[in-house]
């Protein structure tokens, strides 16, 4: 699996310097503060849409464990394996698991899964497929390790429209810095309507269905929103860390303008949408794995 920072680093070039600095997804605690609360709202919606069964389940790009824990909580007879390329995220998830008897985490690459054919009843992935270097290869691997008639599902943010936390940020950044437009996460693959479903059909899954998953996030104040970007996580956080100190206030003010906020201490809400897809592994594909 491509490390999540690779997309952004490839676009940023000299703006951020050598690949790996800053570490866009290298701090588990910071990532939890940046995106964890969003993932916790989204995970149950994906579980319901995907129709996760009881049994052995694979969570691809498990990160800090949000989806794995949500499945374990809602499906009491599931055994869930989470894989992620980040050793730190894996350590964090293991240390925080409320279900250590039913959850397993290991470092792994979605494009080269270290599991036997038809190991899992279902496979799923939350907010990861758009960061995988070769998502088609990863999906074929999920077909290989998922049982016949098992479900494969995934969800990614609608970066170009309804993920307002990030849409607001990138629109503000682009209004004061022309370079920001090419770094905007709206350019990432698989984040628009029909793209995930098209890939699922291309790989031969049957009964493919796509649906928008909608959530709303409550912020206690402007700082409750803004401070998460200062943690250096994700493409937006990495961009903020590269902003020179004398322009930071300009960026902060541009974000406030986009949010139409006059009183920084006032609470507000933002909507978010993710595109989710599910499909069923055909019998003939499973038989061809032998």
Minimal CA–CA distance to 65: which of 89, 30, 38, 37? 89
Rounded CA-CA distance 227/196 in Å is: 32
Check if the beta carbon of residue 232 is closer than 8 Å to that of residue 238: yes
- What are residue 123's DSSP bridge partners? 58, 152
Sheet containing 120-126, strands listed edge to edge, beginning at the edge strand earlier in sequence:
103-107, 78-84, 55-60, 120-126, 146-157, 268-280, 206-219
- pLDDT value at residue 91: 96
The per-residue pLDDT for 26 is 72
Q: What is the pLDDT of residue 285?
A: 59
pLDDT at 25: 75
| pTM given for the model | 0.89
Q: Which CATH superfamily is domain 6-287 in?
A: Vaccinia Virus protein VP39 (3.40.50.150)
Structural domain boundaries in the chain: 6-287
Tokens of 26: 């290298």
Q: What is the mean pLDDT of each run of 10 residues along the chain (290 residues)?
A: 40 34 72 94 98 98 97 97 96 97 97 97 97 96 98 97 96 96 94 97 98 97 97 93 94 97 96 98 65
> What percent of the residues of the chain are helix, what percent strand, and what percent coil, each to the nearest 5?
45, 25, 30
């Amino acid at each position: 699996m491509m490390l999540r920072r690779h997309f952004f680093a490839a676009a940023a070039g000299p703006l951020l310097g050598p690949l790996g600095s800053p570490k866009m997804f290298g701090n588990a605690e910071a990532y939890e503060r940046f995106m964890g609360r969003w993932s916790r709202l989204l995970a149950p919606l994906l579980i319901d849409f995907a129709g996760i069964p009881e049994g052995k389940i694979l969570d691809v790009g498990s990160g800090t464990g949000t989806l794995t824990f949500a499945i374990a909580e809602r499906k009491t007879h599931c055994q869930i394996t989470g894989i992620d390329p980040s050793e730190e995220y894996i350590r964090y998830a293991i240390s925080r698991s409320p279900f250590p008897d039913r959850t397993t985490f290991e470092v792994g690459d979605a494009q080269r899964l270290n599991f036997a054919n038809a190991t899992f009843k279902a496979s799923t992935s939350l907010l990861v497929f758009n960061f995988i270097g070769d998502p088609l290869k990863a999906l074929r691997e999920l077909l290989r390790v998922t049982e016949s008639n098992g479900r494969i599902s995934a969800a990614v943010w609608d970066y170009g429209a309804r993920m307002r936390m990030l849409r607001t940020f990138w629109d503000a950044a682009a209004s004061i810095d022309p370079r920001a437009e090419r770094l905007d996460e709206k350019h990432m693959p698989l984040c628009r309507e029909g793209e995930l479903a098209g890939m699922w059909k291309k790989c031969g899954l049957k009964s493919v269905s796509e649906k928008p998953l909608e959530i709303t996030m409550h912020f206690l104040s402007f700082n409750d929103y803004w401070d998460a970007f200062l943690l250096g996580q994700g493409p937006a956080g990495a961009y903020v860390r590269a902003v020179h100190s004398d322009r930071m206030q300009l960026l902060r003010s541009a974000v406030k303008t986009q949010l139409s906020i006059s009183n920084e201490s006032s609470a507000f809400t933002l909507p978010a949408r993710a595109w989710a897809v599910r499909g069923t592994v055909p019998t003939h594909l499973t038989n061809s794995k032998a």
